A and B are shown apart, each in its own frame.
Chain A
Amino acid sequence: MKLELRGITKTFGSFVANDAIDLVVEPGEIHSLLGENGAGKSTLMNVLYGLYRPDGGEIVIDGAAVSFSDPGDAMAAGIGMVHQHFMLVPVFTVAENMVLGHEPTRGGLLDLGAARTLVREISARFGFDLDPDALVENLPVGAQQRVEIIKALSRSAEVLVLDEPTAVLTPQETDELMAIMRQLRDEGTSIVFITHKLREVKAVSDRITVIRRGTVVGQADPSADQADLAGLMVGRQVSLAQDKAEATLGEIALQVTDLQVTDAAGIRTLDGVSFEVRHGEVLAIAGVQGNGQTELSEALLGLQETVHGSARLESRELVGRSTKQVLDAGVGFVPEDRTHDALVPDFTVAENLVLDQHDRAPFGTALAMSPKAVRENAEKLIPEFDVRTESAVSAVSTLSGGNQQKVVMARALNRELALLIASQPTRGVDVGSIEFLHRRLLDERDKGTPVVIVSTELDEVVQLADRIAVMYRGAILGIVPGDEDRDVLGLMMAGYTAEAAREAVAAGARTTDSQLADEGEIV
């Protein structure tokens, strides 16, 4: 099936998300759509999938123009999609999720037997080991993604759109996904691969289309130079590697011993975690999302209900204290979910910049706030962190994701800190800003502040860390030096201990990624 998008335009209010985009996907090719966060890739694919109605342009399949009013039409035309945020019902089984919308029936009742057989058939074809009766919510994220893939394949999709599929995977799982993509291509399925990761694009694509600010800025060949691709994507030259000075280690500042978190259902979500962080050191907590990182950072902040164990900051116990007391002890915090936990969307930029200090000098007392101090603070921080906003009194919700993140980071870094905990410090931020925010984090380290960074992005972890703790299912599997081999880290994220991972890598368990790096193809 040959798929063509001709002049697709989609606007939201005055914002042009897609501006006359042309894209041709030949049968049996892996076509990568490369672009930064917010470049318009997902919008384009949602138009293709019938979730958005385009304001202009047409979709052409095998020479005939088609129009989709809802995803049902798109699926009927042979288009399948694996969404970045999985479209799976957590309380349904694998089989139920797969057949939802095209359920086999027998005598008026659901024929789950047929659904199970179909799950096993497709799983066997790709070497998956999915239990048709497992509840999706109990599966690891990687397996959930494979459920999404078989869901699309069960509808005999001829074009499969994968929207940022590697964001939740370890490097090894990413490799396996790429093998599946190649297998599908060889069977004749076309694949549209949406990503902002240059390494992956180079490893798997047949053709690359680069999108920036809603328009196609160029086509590229997978053999193209990585720096050129990055330049095309960002629109200027960027330095991909941050140079980092050697850490000057001080005394132990934070000592976490056997920290445990139990959720309301009695499930141990954080299972006996111990580590220490020294002054002037960055400890990165790596791992696939949902392995206890959230619970760890929230437990340190006093945001979790049932916490056992100890976390001593300069010999002061943090466990059992209220969040306010923890903040007063000098802990700066960047929550992982910017929109939910970090900002009050309708408050102004200036107000959001003092959210955690509003009742403290100089911004206020227990009774009153000092608007002048709040304003001056904003006037100082906005240029310092290059926050692009109309004014200090604009609602923070009017800012782009990257600029919102700068507000959160500016707030956390705007005082003398005894400890900085930053979760996903650069999630959804453009490449240029990432550079800047990383610089600020390292500066904070060099001032002697102990820094804990929680990140699911291996690139970020390797970039910043002096030591790396890998979390897996609520526990820390091992703490390794910051310059550890990426393949070892990847295997640890999949549950290998440091020793086992090193052995496997020594025995030749390499990813495409590291091989390309060895061959000098990527940085």
Chain B
Amino acid sequence: MTTASAVVADDSEIQKKVADVRPDSWWHLPATTTVLGAVALVLFGLRGIPGAESSFALARDGDLNPLGIVPEQITVPSIGTAIALAVIALVASAGLWVLHARVARPRPAARISLIAVFAAAWILAFMTWVISERALDVATLLQGTLALAVPLAFGALSGVLSERSGVINIAIEGQLLFGAFGAALVGSLAGSAWVGLLAAPVMALVMGALLALFAVGYRVQQIIVGVVLNVLAIGITSFFFGTVMRQNPGMFNSPMRLPTLRIPVLADIPVIGRVLFEQNVLVYLMWIIVAVLTVALFRTRWGLRVRAVGEHPRAADTVGIAVNRTRWINVLLGSAVAGLGGATLTIGTGVAFGEEMSAGKGYIALAAMILGRYHPIGALLAALTFAFADSLQLRLGTTSAAEGGVAIPGDFLLMLPYVVALFAVAGVVGRVRVPAANGTPYVKQ
């Protein structure tokens, strides 16, 4: 047969040649940060209120604070601090210019650390300026952040579950709304928030089942199904809200609240104690689900199969994995998780159900999922980012109205979370790797 054959089979990875030319858009990022840094320097620093001071409240009386390591309050001169922070931000921008000027393709680690320094300095400068002549309770800000992040995180996890298996989940909004509705209605009927907690995921399953039925079963265009389901969820809940709930709120829609579970000692740690260890069961559940889902998706047989179904369903099918059953299960699981997020809006915060109370959180959750790169931990971090913007907006909105200092129109502040979401998602889209079969129905011949 073959006499002397040269070895030609090459099993080693292809070393991709990275171009040594800059992308044409290389200057966009450093230019943006420089402009923002300059704005911070002028607006927050040079044009600040002369002689004003900004205070950040950190520790409280009774906190576990041996020897007062953590000061109760830090007070700094507004203008000086803002200028210093703005200069730091500008230095980080300069670093980005240098980085991009010297190498065509800078290492992501160096780039991201500079961006992080810039963002932190810029936000602190902004806060220093806004709270001139006032005080900001940092612990409350963070606690608000976490509280606002919970529904977003649950929603984003719902998206991760469903989109990793290849089904686009625009219906998170509807799932949240149904969860909130179910928790309020059933909890109210049973007279127990705990029963409401059980009812929320079950109620949201209805949305999940409809999504799976149309998207997986009938292969309808998934974005359209999702949007229609959101409208349906608003319609149904508004109908019941306007009829039975309004006629007999005591019976069908009385506000109730899951008890706050305080973990002794740990909750007394200054600043972060209350944030992490004095929350209701939903918050703890969120941590658990993020951890479990991370392990399950990337370390178990189930996760490998789910990801295979989302990336290359036919390959999954050829090794005996039931593609559409996997998708059904994941959409249902996802909707149940989103239902818990909905429960946060009613029984988690102690308010009665209100019309359209999810108010676009489902879409922000979707953005968090994309920004989080379809990873549970990423989704959580993204949810926290958006929630921080929201929480800041709430804190500033309540303080600036009452006292003096810098007044920003409330409407601008309300935009804050959405502006952050828009920029964050626009910045990563194109870099995020979407599951290859996401949105494509699987047809077996």
Interface residues of A (CB under 8 A from B): 46, 49, 51-52, 70-73, 75, 81, 83, 86-92, 96, 99-103, 105, 108-110, 123, 128-131, 134-135, 138-140, 142-143, 146, 151, 170, 172-173, 175-176, 179, 260, 262, 264, 266-268, 271, 306, 308, 473-474, 490-491, 494-496, 504, 507-512, 515
Question: What chain B residues lie within 8 Å of A130 (beta carbons)?
Answer: 11
A140-B10, A267-B16 known; A100-B5 Cβ under 8 A: no
Cβ contact within 8 Å between B312 and A170: no
Question: What chain A residues lie within 8 Å of B430 (beta carbons)?
Answer: 264
A103-B304, A510-B3 known; A90-B436 Cβ under 8 A: yes
B248 within 8 A of A: no
Cβ contact within 8 Å between B318 and A89: no
Stretch from B19-27, B63-71, B183-191, B283-291 forming part of the interface with A = B19-27
Within the assembled complex, what's the spacing in Å between the Cα atoms of A52 and B433?
Answer: 32
Cβ contact within 8 Å between B301 and A135: no
Within the assembled complex, what's the spacing in Å between the Cα atoms of A260 and B300?
Answer: 43
B9 within 8 A of A: yes
A72-B320, A89-B315, A110-B304 known; A131-B13 Cβ under 8 A: yes
Residue on B nearest A176 in the bound complex, by CB: B9
**From A123, A139, A170, A267, contact of B18 by CB (8 A):** A267
B398 within 8 A of A: no
Within the assembled complex, what's the spacing in Å between the Cα atoms of A360 and B91?
Answer: 56
Cβ contact within 8 Å between B3 and A508: yes
Q: State the total of A-B contacts with C-beta under 8 angstroms.
A: 169
A88-B312, A131-B11, A143-B11 known; A83-B318 Cβ under 8 A: yes
Cβ contact within 8 Å between B299 and A109: yes
Question: What chain B residues lie within 8 Å of A91 (beta carbons)?
Answer: 307, 311, 433, 436
Cβ contact within 8 Å between A51 and B10: no
Q: Which 4 A-B pairs give the minimum distances between C-beta atoms? A: A72-B320, A101-B319, A87-B315, A494-B8
A-B contacts besides A110-B300, A135-B13, 5 pairs, CB < 8 Å: A70-B317, A91-B307, A91-B433, A105-B301, A176-B9
Residue on B nearest A503 in the bound complex, by CB: B6
Question: What chain A residues lie within 8 Å of B17 (beta carbons)?
Answer: 267-268, 271, 473-474
Residue on A nearest B319 in the bound complex, by CB: A101
B58 within 8 A of A: no
Cβ contact within 8 Å between B3 and A267: no
B265 within 8 A of A: no
Cβ contact within 8 Å between B307 and A509: no
Question: What chain A residues lie within 8 Å of B1 (beta carbons)?
Answer: 179, 512
Provide 23 A-B residue pairs closer than 8 Å at the C-beta atoms, listed in order of the A residue: A51-B444, A70-B317, A75-B320, A83-B318, A87-B312, A91-B307, A92-B307, A100-B305, A102-B319, A108-B300, A109-B300, A110-B299, A128-B11, A131-B12, A138-B13, A140-B10, A143-B10, A146-B9, A176-B8, A266-B105, A491-B8, A508-B3, A515-B3
B442 to chain A, nearest CB (A): 13
A102-B319, A268-B19, A306-B23 known; A146-B312 Cβ under 8 A: no
Residue on B nearest A501 in the bound complex, by CB: B6
Question: What chain B residues lie within 8 Å of A103 (beta carbons)?
Answer: 301, 304
Cβ contact within 8 Å between A89 and B11: no
Question: What chain A residues lie within 8 Å of B6 (beta carbons)?
Answer: 172, 491, 496, 504, 509
Question: What chain A residues lie within 8 Å of B301 (beta carbons)?
Answer: 103, 105, 110
B119 within 8 A of A: no
* In the complex, chain B residues 310-360 whose Cβ is within 8 Å of any chain A Cβ: 311-312, 314-322
Interface residues of B (CB under 8 A from A): 1-6, 8-14, 16-19, 21, 23-24, 104-105, 295, 299-301, 303-305, 307-308, 311-312, 314-322, 430, 433, 436, 444-445
B2 to chain A, nearest CB (A): 6
B345 to chain A, nearest CB (A): 34
Question: What chain A residues lie within 8 Å of B319 (beta carbons)?
Answer: 71-72, 75, 87, 100-102, 151
Within the assembled complex, what's the spacing in Å between the Cα atoms of A418 and B321?
Answer: 52
Within the assembled complex, what's the spacing in Å between the Cα atoms of A515 and B2?
Answer: 8
Question: What chain A residues lie within 8 Å of B24 (beta carbons)?
Answer: 306
Cβ contact within 8 Å between B2 and A175: yes
Within the assembled complex, what's the spacing in Å between the Cα atoms of A446 and B388?
Answer: 71
B110 to chain A, nearest CB (A): 15
Cβ contact within 8 Å between A494 and B10: yes
A159 to chain B, nearest CB (A): 15
**From B12, B19, B315, contact of A100 by CB (8 A):** B315
Question: What chain B residues lie within 8 Å of A474 (beta carbons)?
Answer: 17
Question: What chain A residues lie within 8 Å of B4 (beta carbons)?
Answer: 507-510
B24 to chain A, nearest CB (A): 7
A51-B445, A100-B304 known; A175-B320 Cβ under 8 A: no
Within the assembled complex, what's the spacing in Å between the Cα atoms of A109 and B301?
Answer: 7
Of B11, B320, B430, most A-chain CB atoms within 10 Å = B11
Within the assembled complex, what's the spacing in Å between the Cα atoms of A70 and B316?
Answer: 11
Cβ contact within 8 Å between B14 and A139: yes
A109-B299, A146-B9 known; A179-B433 Cβ under 8 A: no
Question: What chain B residues lie within 8 Å of A86 (beta carbons)?
Answer: 315
A216 to chain B, nearest CB (A): 23
**From A46, A89, A473, A512, contact of B14 by CB (8 A):** A473
Residue on B nearest A134 in the bound complex, by CB: B13
Question: What chain A residues lie within 8 Å of B11 (beta carbons)?
Answer: 123, 128-131, 139-140, 142-143, 146
Question: What chain B residues lie within 8 Å of A495 (beta carbons)?
Answer: 8, 10
**From A71, A135, A139, A142, contact of B318 by CB (8 A):** A71
Cβ contact within 8 Å between B318 and A87: yes
Residue on B nearest A291 in the bound complex, by CB: B14
Residue on A nearest B20 in the bound complex, by CB: A268
A183 to chain B, nearest CB (A): 12
B51 to chain A, nearest CB (A): 50
Within the assembled complex, what's the spacing in Å between the Cα atoms of A146 and B305?
Answer: 22
**From A52, A100, A134, contact of B445 by CB (8 A):** A52
Question: What chain A residues lie within 8 Å of B304 (beta carbons)?
Answer: 92, 96, 99-100, 103, 110
B407 to chain A, nearest CB (A): 44
Cβ contact within 8 Å between A71 and B12: no
A292 to chain B, nearest CB (A): 10
Residue on A nearest B309 in the bound complex, by CB: A89
A157 to chain B, nearest CB (A): 12
